[in-house]
Amino acid sequence: MAAASNSTMDPNSGFSPQTKIFHSLRPSISIPPSPLPLYIFSLLSSSSPSPAAALIDAATSRRIPLSHLPILVQSLASNLRLKFNIRKNDVAFILSTNSIQIPLLHLSLLSLSVIVSPSNPLSSDSDISHQIRLTKPAIAFATSASAARVPPLREGTVLLDSPEFESLFLPSAAKFDPPEVSPDDTAAILYSSGTTGRVKGVELTHRNLIAVIAGARAIRAARASPPVTLCVVPFFHVYGFTMCLREVALGGSLVVAAAESRRGSRLDLEMVFGAVEEFGVTHLAVAPPVVVAMVKSAVVGKYELRSLEVVMSGGAPVASTVIERFKAKFSNISLIQAYGLTETSAGVVRPLGGFESEVKGSNGRLVSNCQARIIDPLTGDIEVRFLRSRIHWLAAGYVGDKEATAAMVDSEGWLRTGDICFFDGNGLLFYVERLKDLIKYNGYQVAPAELEDLLLSHPAIVDAAVIPYPDEDAGQIPAAFVVREPGSTINESLIMDFVAQKVAPYKKIRRVFFRDTIPKNAAGKVLRKELVKLATNVASKL
């Protein structure tokens, strides 16, 4: 579909009333027809990264200057090809916590046109087996702690924390001739969150990932010194995966935190704050539970955080009450949230700064070359409910699942996201809820996120999640799973009364379950299907 002309498009929002499409207000970008590693190293070469720019291990302070990356990546790629019979389009399964070796490994494998497939080392054995059946990897790279969970593969499993792996970075005498790579060749297979069904393997191409970097480069403001980004999101998630490639390509320092700093405990936060202070971190990339922990933490005063400019949260929404408390506590630090999917290779909506970052609850504006529309999936009328995006970096599909791939986009190429969103008059997008998560109470639709936000505003509640609970008369009722503050005696009746005073009658919480934790995935998204299963088991016994 052709872009709207300037005469029909609202310059403030990008909306065309003729086509009912929202258009990006960002600068257009071109996608060079080259392999991803070649594109990244061409950017590094042309920008001459600062001598201080490096990959930095937050725990050991080990540094790898970005200027060393091209030779290290070429040496690793050459030695991998010499030692293992890995070929173009083979899949490499990676089961590891974050480390500064991971970006080097990704780039080396991609230089060989090997498909990178990172997975969560905390995944169940069932999920790992399912992922390996999907992708059929030829080789695996794992830590000593996770290697035993990988079944025998054609080329075996390489231990990332072994002297043998470190030796693969030594210069190779063999000449390195990279294979030909098409921009539409698969570069990575990342796994969808599986919060509403079985995990799928999402195929991302070299073109997809180049578009992510090119889009970020087009809007990155000039700085007196390169940014220093502390990443405490996992590299196996699309958020962390694209971030580690993007920061390397754009010449900034990337401070890498291991998995232990993503658990949200007080000790972990001290590690995060300590790294901000030690390395002069300007940008902090986190999942929402870390934002919540920062708001509630009492240790922040022990650290010098003057360098920190922005906290970037992604993977799941941050409750508006948490946003308010964050801004009150960290008045000089911007908190921004992007919106995106694994299927879109990264965020398709993000704030650029200025007023975009100050509007509470906003995810920002559409990224370059992006179009979106809001539709009602039930009637087909154009309404502010359901988002589909048409972008240049739309995933190729789901590996081994033709039916799901065919259902991913409609006949006109619009991605079905399953998310309820709306745009305001300035083209800012606001995420509301997953369509599948809406609670159907007596014909009314209740958004769990609204009730969770309200519950989190109570001083005696640490965390909360709301799900549909089966009811013979109403069909479904809102039920809350609540984590109380230590020592709190708040009970079900007090919680239900607290909510009832602030919402319409059909939105009231009608059941409360107390738990020590709320189950979430690595990106901080609530695993509602686990809570629904728990609630269903309770209902079946009544």
| Residue 94, strand partner residues | 118, 141
Residue 235 contacts residue 98 (beta carbons within 8 Å) = yes
Strand, helix or coil at 347? strand
Residue 262, pLDDT score: 39
Residue 4 confidence (pLDDT): 47
From first to last of its 542 residues, what are the pLDDT tens digits of the chain? Answer: 344 445 588 999 999 999 889 999 998 888 888 899 999 999 998 887 788 899 999 999 999 999 999 999 999 999 999 999 999 999 999 999 999 999 999 999 999 999 999 999 988 888 899 999 999 999 999 999 999 999 999 999 999 999 999 999 999 877 778 888 888 999 999 998 655 557 899 999 999 999 999 999 988 888 888 899 999 999 999 999 999 999 999 999 999 997 543 333 344 888 999 999 999 999 999 988 889 889 988 888 899 999 999 999 988 888 888 899 999 999 999 999 999 989 999 888 999 877 888 888 899 999 988 899 888 766 655 544 345 666 678 899 999 899 989 888 887 788 888 888 889 999 999 988 888 888 988 878 888 988 999 999 999 999 999 999 988 788 899 999 999 999 999 999 999 999 999 998 999 999 999 999 999 887 788 888 889 888 877 655 55
Q: Cα–Cα distance between 351 and 357 in angstroms, integer? A: 5
Residue 240 tokens, joined: 């962390």
**pLDDT at 421 (0 to 100):** 87
Q: How many residues does the chain have?
A: 542
- Close Cβ partners of 469 (under 8 Å, ≥ 6 residues apart): 476, 477, 478, 479, 510, 511, 535, 539
Instruction: Kindly provide the residue ranges of all beta strands, DSSP E only, lying in 58-197, ordered along the sequence.
Output: 63-65, 91-95, 115-119, 139-142, 157-159, 186-191
Q: Taking phi first (over 0 means left), then psi (-120 to 50 degrees means alpha), and beta for anything else, what does residue 443 get?
A: left
Q: Name the residue among 98, 350, 120 with its Cα closest to residue 244.
A: 98
- Straight-line distance from the first to the last Cα atom of the chain, in angstroms, rounded to the nearest whole number: 54
Rounded Cα distance, 532 and 495, in Å:
20
**DSSP state, 198?**
S
Tell me 526's DSSP state.
B
For residue 433, give the DSSP letter. Answer: E
Q: Which ranges in 359-491 belong to alpha helices (H)?
A: 402-408, 448-456
CATH topology of domain 438-540: GMP Synthetase; Chain A, domain 3 (3.30.300)
CA distance 518 to 483: 7
CA-to-CA distance for 532 and 514, rounded, in angstroms?
A: 14
Look at residue 470 in the predicted model and tell me its pLDDT: 86
- Distance in angstroms (rounded) separating the CA atoms of residues 175 and 377: 55
What b/e sequence results for 331-343 when a residue is b if at least 16 CB atoms lie within 10 Å of its CB, and e otherwise? eeebbbbbbbbbb
**229, β-bridge pairs:** 254, 283
Question: Where does residue 89 fall: left (phi above 0), alpha (psi -120 to 50 degrees), or beta otherwise?
Answer: left
Which sign does the torsion angle of CA 264, 524, 303, 257 carry?
A: positive
Positive/negative CA dihedral, 398, 404, 405, 408: negative
Q: What's the CA dihedral at 217, 220, 223, 226 to 10 degrees?
A: -50
Residue 239's nearest CA partner among 311, 143, 316 is: 316
pLDDT of residue 388: 62
